[in-house]
């Protein structure tokens, strides 16, 4: 592990993986000068850009009639699996539940199964997507169009809509067992 050092006043403190080890000499951030707080912020930004990774979740929500729930966003073309970003400190399953509620008005009623984690090079060189298969759920209400979602509904797996994104098509084929799982979205 690479160690860096950052100066706090007249003292140098080791900084491992971008987290300053300040110790007992500091009771709160209020004892730091503006310059010191700026140094910490810049270091955090550096590590976020240099080493940071983004994580998202998607759900293949499958009902007992052989249908999958898909959404069409207002800001990007094509039909895709519902999902979104995982917030810092948020467990992936909680992010999945939140995104399903927001984008689909669907609540989990049983465990979601992690199917795979994919590198999503099309978004950025640091984006990863965790794909879950959801079979136990409740549709709380019909999803109506809003600022984010133009359309959302179930489609038969053997009659998927035109405009299905290539990544979504591949993931559904992997889940069905038609092709081997890939490492990239």
Mean pLDDT per 10-residue interval, the chain, length 185 residues: 40 40 39 71 62 87 98 93 95 98 98 96 82 98 93 97 97 94 93
pLDDT, position 166:
96
Whole-number pLDDT of residue 154: 98
Residue 24 is predicted with a pLDDT of 37
Residue-level pLDDT at 3: 39
Residue 34's pLDDT is 81
Would you say the pTM of this structure is higher than 0.85? no
pLDDT at 81: 99
Write down the pLDDT at residue 9.
43
Question: Which pLDDT does position 98 carry in this prediction?
Answer: 98
Tokens 């759900």 belong to residue: 59
How many C-beta atoms lie closer than 10 Å to residue 20's C-beta?
A: 20
Element (H, E) at 12: strand 11-16
Neighbours of 59 (CB within 10 A): 26
- Confidence (pLDDT) at 43: 59
Would you put residue 163 in left (φ > 0), alpha (ψ -120 to 50) or beta? left
Residue range(s) in the chain whose domain bears CATH number 3.90.79.10: 54-176
Is the domain covering 54-176 a CATH 3.90.79.10 domain?
A: yes
With beta carbons less than 8 A apart as the criterion, state whether 46 and 18 touch: yes
């Amino acid at each position: 592990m690479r160690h860096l050092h950052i100066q706090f006043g007249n003292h140098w403190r080791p900084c491992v993986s971008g987290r300053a080890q300040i110790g007992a000499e500091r009771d709160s951030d209020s004892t730091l000068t503006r310059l010191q707080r700026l140094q910490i912020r810049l270091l955090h930004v550096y590590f976020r850009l240099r080493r940071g990774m983004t994580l998202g979740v998607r759900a293949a929500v499958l009902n007992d009639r052989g249908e999958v729930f898909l959404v069409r966003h207002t800001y990007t073309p094509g039909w895709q699996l519902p999902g979104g970003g995982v917030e810092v400190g948020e467990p992936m399953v909680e992010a999945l539940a939140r995104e399903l509620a927001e984008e689909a008005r669907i609540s989990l009623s049983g465990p979601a199964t992690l199917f795979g984690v994919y590198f999503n090079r099309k978004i950025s060189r640091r984006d990863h997507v965790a794909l879950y298969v959801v079979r136990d759920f409740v549709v709380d209400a019909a999803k109506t169009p809003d600022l984010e979602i133009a359309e959302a509904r179930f489609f038969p797996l053997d009659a998927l809509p035109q405009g299905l994104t290539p990544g979504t098509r591949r993931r559904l084929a992997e889940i069905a067992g038609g092709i081997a799982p890939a490492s990239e979205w």
